[in-house]
Structure 1
């Protein structure tokens, strides 16, 4: 079979296998974890691709992130599919399939090893650890940023083959686009340095650099292939392994680092932007809340656990809580494992360069999310492995043939083993996808495979409440608080149920706890203000809602609530100003149009009031309050 035919066969196979493994994703619903903030309750995104939306995407930090390209992709989905989740899931699947095919083509171009490249791409496509990145609509940023990551590396390979300024410019632009989808790509310049070593071979002496065309597991052999001259070089490899740091051409490495300064500058810029935005959102844990020693210990364990789940993908969950205790023996064991693999990979770098490159790819690309800078409340996350596992897959794909190189008839053995691995991964991936049917199924599974998971209980409560099961929701919110009394969201959610039941005093107690544990959350402040208003504490209500607006000036619900309170105090002009500002953010809110119409009517602006009542009824035809207000306004316009 010719290389061209082989390539076509592999591309078609990868496409069909990935589509088959993930096809049920099209039938999945939105979930109540981040999807509301990203899509289903995001008013800007729900307007589709608009000039205002594009401006918002590039100028706004939202939920602690600045990733305008991700926002634009969600807006495009709304433009095409509306709020049909099938279309959004289809978009994620398309990107995952594209990433799989691009990864195969990239590895093939760099290594000229079709079967190893195909197997590495198949592992990437089908591994259950990647289900979270594909099945979760909010993780569009994973598949989108990886799309640009692979394109960036591909552009870099073209630049290496023929260094030209326009080609380097393409590298920079594609890298920038990837960072604007998800800043986890900040490690890419380091990846390019690894690829300079292998498989691009740029660290070899002049005249010998280039892509390795040798069989799997062997470094590129300079000069003629299989010539007798090459044998002494191969025999000398052990001395190179033993003194790898001394054997590296440091002046050339320095040149390659300088070559990448624009890329390092972009990485530094986006690292700062990400830290500042996450810190401003209150997502970055302080050293007092999480000591450095605990972070390092958890990071070591996470590196080992990701490898364990790569080998045996069991008990996968959308949220892993921090363990209460990190056993010292486990931390030491994880550290020794990492040190041992690093030492072995470095020692064998001369003979098996793919080993050190794959290992450092894995270690390096996890650095931004491994937990030294603790962002969020999760100990680890499956989605963080989407790019890093490529390094381990390279080690497996190139290592397996090397292990069997002295075995006769190794090709059938490798083929059967690869087929069995692919079949097993497809089965587990299909099973894991079934847990993503909706929020209830997702968090039921999460609670089944984790313990003492306060966040999962809170999210399960929210999912149940959306289905109308308030008793079940109440139980899960209470359990979330029992496990972690400082879970501010659970206090807020429990307060909402109590407020709906008229138990306002109890609701206020929980809202106060939510504010105490997270004073910078505008939603908690707004809910506390509403509860104070129900208690008749007008000044306290106005104070809390104004604080919410200080934290988030474009918070439409807080504007609406403040306007309603001011209107109840007879301050109609001030109320109208808040209603109009809220409408600018949420033009499709029927209740807001109705209240603005009422304020206008009291000010004598009958025609404008009628227009807003009619708009409220266009949005919500069965809105009796707006119907009555419209009749009253029409009678006033007609006069006696």
Structure 2
């Protein structure tokens, strides 16, 4: 007589509407272990530097970070940073800069803490889905330790990844609670608020309503009027932020980066990227911060439709056979990765590790779900599943441990990229900049030469010219600036810089001519006004020098040094009534400079404000300023 088969219990309970969402004692120890392991893998990044790959534009050169006031906050929410609209990430940088200055440790520490928060939320997401503790541990551990996550954590610029994901996961958790609590409105309020915060952190968050639809399929939720209103509102939010993001990307020119490919080739690039991301989830090979577009598409790109169609076939089979966990995972991964597949160019590369930070949760879920189902069949299978999973995760941890130090500084970063991509100009250019900043001039010149040999880029030529300028090699600098202008005469900086070479050689009229040409090319290139003012001063032409300083300050009112220079020029021109407010503004912006106070003391003496002058002089001396005898005598 045939043995009666026993039906295995499903991993996810049939009862789906559970009111209690609290953590239990069984959650704390596993969570502590997950977060401890993840922190151990990433803690070294606290001591790393900023890198010369967008960290400068996002942080050190970002004018909206200079002061934490309403004017700058408005600027953060109304502008982009090199085509990216992620104002909340930028606001977080502004807050850090306000309290810690440009200390990389503070910025790196925040990224690590946010990654730990996301790892915790990944665990909570699994638990509110009623995945058992062991399954939630496996999914969350994969989220925390996977080497493809390193870029999002160790690169300060990618604050937007860990920040949007924290809000994104929070929104998903509250969406589950909303459904299971029989649609309590407070949870939907949390969903909307967290979704909005996620959208303002990174445009990739537009996929959230689609992720929720994948959950609805998983739960067998019917499509009704409530569903249509709810998803319609969320999709409208995605649409609006998506349009804003596309506008800024187009304004920056980022959408044109694959314009040399045909439409079919772009589709192939998208399929290839999709396939590679899946493969790298299981076997993270050749991890690189940059995957530059090749001159011609490799054979694997043309073979990628086979993998892509294979995934589609698996999704169709899952749908027909009601394999909901598998189809949910495929759908979650797909909807979260599809907007960044570079079918329409939006960057310098056709792949980017940072893009998988959230999507990989979709691959982890069905893998862990079916591994646990398999392990329940027999003790032997259970040992095999646990053993294989442990070996794989240990291998991932080793890869992550080895990959984190690549982000120590720009030198290690670009040296690693060049292990795989010697044909690309960008790694040589950026490593040359690192060498130049560290006074390794011969190494910098060698890398500049390699970069220019690959691609005659005017900006790289300008950088090489600046190296010669810093070394006071005027003929070499002049030759390079001539070449940069020959390559692109529309860039103001090249004209201004060549004018500076003329000025250093005493050719002030030639300097004025070049700097004026630069300002005409771009009236908002503010360094042009500052440099031309110095030339006018050298020629003894103080009124136009002062006019240039005012033009500079009208565009950047937060530069204490230029307010000081403006006040000093007003004093020289015997306009103390104009000098005083300018110097007061300089002092307000930088209270650590003794020379600003000393200059204001001189103006106060001229205006007869001796008591104020004595106060300024005392503060200036306390800050280390050297007080000349004439000024000291004048305040007596």
TM score, norm. by length of structure 2: 0.82
Secondary structure of the corresponding residue to residue 350 of structure 2 = strand
Aligned equivalent of 2:391, options 389, 401, 420 = 420
Q: Note the C-alpha offset of 1:596.
A: 2.2
Supply the distance in 1 between the matched residues of 2:221 and 2:349 (Cα, whole angstroms): 39
Question: Is it true that 1:118 corresponds to 2:149 in the alignment?
Answer: no
C-alpha contact 1:28 1:86 (8 A) present in aligned 2: yes
Supply the distance in 2 between the matched residues of 1:145 and 1:579 (Cα, whole angstroms): 40
C-alpha contact 1:542 1:565 (8 A) present in aligned 2: no
C-alpha contact 1:301 1:330 (8 A) present in aligned 2: yes
Give per-residue Cα distances to partners, 1:444-481, cap 9 Å, x unaligned.
Answer: 11212333121111110111111111221121122112
Supply the distance in 1 between the matched residues of 2:539 and 2:179 (Cα, whole angstroms): 70
Equivalent residue number for residue 505 of structure 1: 478
Aligned equivalent of 2:562, options 576, 579, 592 = 592
C-alpha contact 2:154 2:407 (8 A) present in aligned 1: yes
Equivalent residue number for residue 341 of structure 1: 311
Equivalent residue number for residue 97 of structure 1: 116
Alignment of 1:263-274 (within 5 A): 263-274=234-245
Equivalent residue number for residue 605 of structure 1: 575
Equivalent residue number for residue 30 of structure 2: 10
Alignment of 1:86-485 (within 5 A): 86-161=105-180, 162-198=182-218, 200-203=219-222, 252=223, 256-285=227-256, 288-327=259-298, 329-349=299-319, 350-485=321-456
C-alpha contact 1:133 1:142 (8 A) present in aligned 2: yes
Supply the distance in 2 between the matched residues of 1:183 and 1:525 (Cα, whole angstroms): 36
Count of paired positions: 577
C-alpha contact 2:51 2:410 (8 A) present in aligned 1: yes
Equivalent residue number for residue 558 of structure 1: 528
Supply the distance in 2 between the matched residues of 1:423 and 1:80 (Cα, whole angstroms): 38
Supply the distance in 2 between the matched residues of 1:409 and 1:330 (Cα, whole angstroms): 38
Question: Is it true that 1:25 corresponds to 2:45 in the alignment?
Answer: yes
TM score, norm. by length of structure 1: 0.82
Change (3 A) 1:339 1:433: same
Supply the distance in 2 between the matched residues of 1:10 and 1:523 (Cα, whole angstroms): 56
C-alpha contact 1:512 1:528 (8 A) present in aligned 2: no
Give per-residue Cα distances to partners, 1:198-222, cap 9 Å, x unaligned.
Answer: 1x3314xxxxxxxxxxxxxxxxxxx
Change (3 A) 1:309 1:513: farther
C-alpha contact 2:414 2:430 (8 A) present in aligned 1: yes
Equivalent residue number for residue 548 of structure 1: 522
C-alpha contact 1:128 1:432 (8 A) present in aligned 2: yes
Equivalent residue number for residue 84 of structure 1: 103
Give per-residue Cα distances to partners, 1:165-190, cap 9 Å, x unaligned.
Answer: 44333322211111111111111111
Supply the distance in 1 between the matched residues of 2:146 and 2:421 (Cα, whole angstroms): 21
C-alpha contact 1:457 1:480 (8 A) present in aligned 2: yes
Aligned equivalent of 2:93, options 74, 90, 98 = 74
Supply the distance in 2 between the matched residues of 1:320 and 1:287 (Cα, whole angstroms): 14
C-alpha contact 2:478 2:498 (8 A) present in aligned 1: no
Q: Note the C-alpha offset of 1:308.
A: 2.6
**Structure 2 gap segments, 5+ residues each:** 1-21, 603-625
Change (3 A) 1:632 1:23: closer
Secondary structure of the corresponding residue to residue 348 of structure 1 = helix
C-alpha contact 1:189 1:263 (8 A) present in aligned 2: yes
C-alpha contact 1:285 1:374 (8 A) present in aligned 2: yes
C-alpha contact 2:492 2:521 (8 A) present in aligned 1: yes
Equivalent residue number for residue 538 of structure 1: 512
Supply the distance in 2 between the matched residues of 1:578 and 1:158 (Cα, whole angstroms): 60
Give per-residue Cα distances to partners, 1:309-335, cap 9 Å, x unaligned.
Answer: 2222232221111112213x4233211
Supply the distance in 1 between the matched residues of 2:365 and 2:291 (Cα, whole angstroms): 27
Change (3 A) 1:514 1:306: farther
Give per-residue Cα distances to partners, 1:89-129, cap 9 Å, x unaligned.
Answer: 11101110000111111122114333222211111100011
Bigger RCO of structures 1 and 2 (CA < 8 A, at least 6 apart): 1
C-alpha contact 1:515 1:525 (8 A) present in aligned 2: no
Supply the distance in 1 between the matched residues of 2:495 and 2:369 (Cα, whole angstroms): 55
Change (3 A) 1:73 1:300: same
Change (3 A) 1:128 1:348: same
Supply the distance in 1 between the matched residues of 2:167 and 2:413 (Cα, whole angstroms): 29
C-alpha contact 1:529 1:542 (8 A) present in aligned 2: no
Q: Note the C-alpha offset of 1:617.
A: 10
Equivalent residue number for residue 242 of structure 1: none
- Let me know the Cα RMSD of the aligned residues: 3.4
Give per-residue Cα distances to partners, 1:400-451, cap 9 Å, x unaligned.
Answer: 2344554434333333333323322222111111111111111111212333
Per mean C-alpha deviation after superposition, the further-off stretch among 470-479 and 583-592 is 583-592
Equivalent residue number for residue 17 of structure 2: none
C-alpha contact 1:322 1:378 (8 A) present in aligned 2: yes
Supply the distance in 2 between the matched residues of 1:531 and 1:408 (Cα, whole angstroms): 78
Equivalent residue number for residue 249 of structure 1: none
Change (3 A) 1:70 1:638: same
C-alpha contact 1:61 1:277 (8 A) present in aligned 2: yes
Equivalent residue number for residue 515 of structure 1: 488
**Structure 1 gap segments, 5+ residues each:** 204-251
